[in-house]
Structure 1
Amino acid sequence: MSEDQVDEADDGQPLSAAESLDLIARQHDRTRRELRSSPARLLGVWAVAWLVGWGLVYLSDDRVAGLMPGWIASVVVGVLFVGAVVHTAWHSTRPGRGIRGPSRRIGRMYGWAWAISFLAMYLVDLRLTLLLGDATDVISLLWTGTSLLLTGVLYLAGGMLWQDPLPYTFGAWICLCGGASVLVGVPGNFLVLSLAGGGGFAVAALVYVLRARKGREAR
């Protein structure tokens, strides 16, 4: 029994219909908050990874600034993205705790869709990379363009699945960023990933924060 239940039951008096409904509503709201972790923090983690990681790759290019060796920027990107993936995996397990039925199944299927899709993309891009040989600029455009496009499509699917316009809009933006990254060429594609992609994650995180605050104020 929760603290609210104890407080209202201590006097030994039965709850009225209105009090019972209010208690149920508050318990439902508390349970919903415990089971659903806000996506704002997750999006914020990816915003940092994209803004900092791809920004350093762009600045490490000799055609731009050459601030550091390319391999150092690559290591930073790897560390940031591994950390973001680990955080995402941990984040994804939280909403499923205590949930059964179709919602849990849909969440698992959507999570596996990300893993399967990116595995297939990596296999395709890896094979094309071997065929392209020394065409480093084309290889760079291939990997960045396909990664952005697939990320955007999966967010579009999530928006349709949960009938939420925010991830759908964000997915559309990331898809457009994928096309733009190929059009601007190398090294501009990394700037698109950093500012447009990472900035998109940051804006989406901010919108979720404002939406949650508005919801709390409405209650």
Structure 2
Amino acid sequence: MVDDEPLSAEESLNLIAQQNRRMRRELGGGPARILAAWALAWLIGWGFTYYATQSGDAVPVWIGGIVVPVLFFGAVGYTIYVTARAGRGLRGPSRITGAMYGWSWCLGSIGLTVVDVRITSFGTLTPDQISLMWTGTWLLLTGVMYMAGGTIWQDRMMYGLGAWMLVSAALSVLVGYPANFLVLTVCGGGGFLLGAIVYFVREKRGRR
């Protein structure tokens, strides 16, 4: 029978997109809150780090090495909570796709950490160059993953945010240290904040 025929690739993507939109409407677990959490982490964390580099001896730069991970772990924890809550309402291809995408973030982060740690351990780079490498590569990974997510869920805003992160990654390396932290704050954190606002407006309209 026709109903038993497997879905085409286009039909599967459309089904995933429809279920994703329904999930946002029913559970209120859209990306607005997640992006807002990451915007807060980036704006405060990297903003503080940049301030520390400009304050002389008033604020030790190493404190930023504590503030940023704490804020990022908080954002990760909140992301896991919201994603898990939203995932309870999903079945079929959307649930599998979401799980695979989440694991891609996890495996990509682990792999990039190993690469950056190994390169740092050679001791051939200056502290300034190490800073550029770590911040640039992580911003690059963020951009690629958001573009991948935008492709999977046919979300132009998500894809555009990923592209913006790629541009920001290149810019952060070009401006050098310590201006790279300013780029992370304004472009990275600002991009997340803008994305959160756009998604929030969309969710409001979708409930009307």
TM-score range, shorter chain: 0.7 to 0.9
Letter in 1 for 2:48: L
Relative to structure 1, the CA distance from residue 131 to residue 211 in structure 2 (aligned partners, 3 Å threshold; closer, same or farther) is same
Contact map agreement 1:35 1:96 (CA 8 A) in 2: no
1:132: how far off? 3.4
Match of residue 189 from structure 1: 180
1:177: how far off? 0.3
Out of 38, 41, 55, the residue aligned to residue 65 of structure 1 is 55
1:126: how far off? 0.5
Match of residue 177 from structure 1: 168
Consecutive unaligned residues in structure 2, runs of 5 or more:
1-20
C-alpha separation in 2, matches of 1:165 and 1:30: 17
Please give the residue correspondences for 1:27-66 in structure 2 after superposition, counting only pairs within 5 Å: 33-35=25-27, 37-61=29-53, 64-66=54-56
1:191: how far off? 0.4
Deviates more, 1:37-46 or 1:178-187: 37-46
Runs of 4+ residues deviating >4 angstroms? 29-32
C-alpha separation in 2, matches of 1:110 and 1:159: 11
How many residues align structurally?
187
C-alpha separation in 2, matches of 1:112 and 1:31: 20
C-alpha separation in 1, matches of 2:148 and 2:83: 17
Contact map agreement 1:156 1:171 (CA 8 A) in 2: yes
Relative to structure 1, the CA distance from residue 32 to residue 70 in structure 2 (aligned partners, 3 Å threshold; closer, same or farther) is closer
1:76: how far off? 1.3
TM-score relative to the length of structure 2: 0.85
Deviates more, 1:123-132 or 1:180-189: 123-132
Letter in 2 for 1:76: V
Letter in 2 for 1:189: N
Out of 116, 122, 126, the residue aligned to residue 113 of structure 2 is 122
1:176: how far off? 0.4
C-alpha separation in 2, matches of 1:72 and 1:50: 15
Letter in 2 for 1:109: M
Please give the residue correspondences for 1:62-211 in structure 2 after superposition, counting only pairs within 5 Å: 64-66=54-56, 67-133=58-124, 135-211=126-202
Consecutive unaligned residues in structure 1, runs of 5 or more:
1-28
1:32: how far off? 5.9
Relative to structure 1, the CA distance from residue 212 to residue 32 in structure 2 (aligned partners, 3 Å threshold; closer, same or farther) is closer
Q: Percent identity?
A: 52
Relative to structure 1, the CA distance from residue 156 to residue 72 in structure 2 (aligned partners, 3 Å threshold; closer, same or farther) is same
Contact map agreement 2:25 2:203 (CA 8 A) in 1: no
1:165: how far off? 0.2
C-alpha separation in 1, matches of 2:120 and 2:107: 20
TM-score relative to the length of structure 1: 0.81
Relative to structure 1, the CA distance from residue 122 to residue 30 in structure 2 (aligned partners, 3 Å threshold; closer, same or farther) is closer
C-alpha separation in 2, matches of 1:142 and 1:30: 40
Q: CA RMSD in A?
A: 1.7
Letter in 1 for 2:102: G
C-alpha separation in 2, matches of 1:210 and 1:35: 16
Match of residue 5 from structure 2: none
1:211: how far off? 1.2
Contact map agreement 2:24 2:30 (CA 8 A) in 1: no
1:90: how far off? 1.0
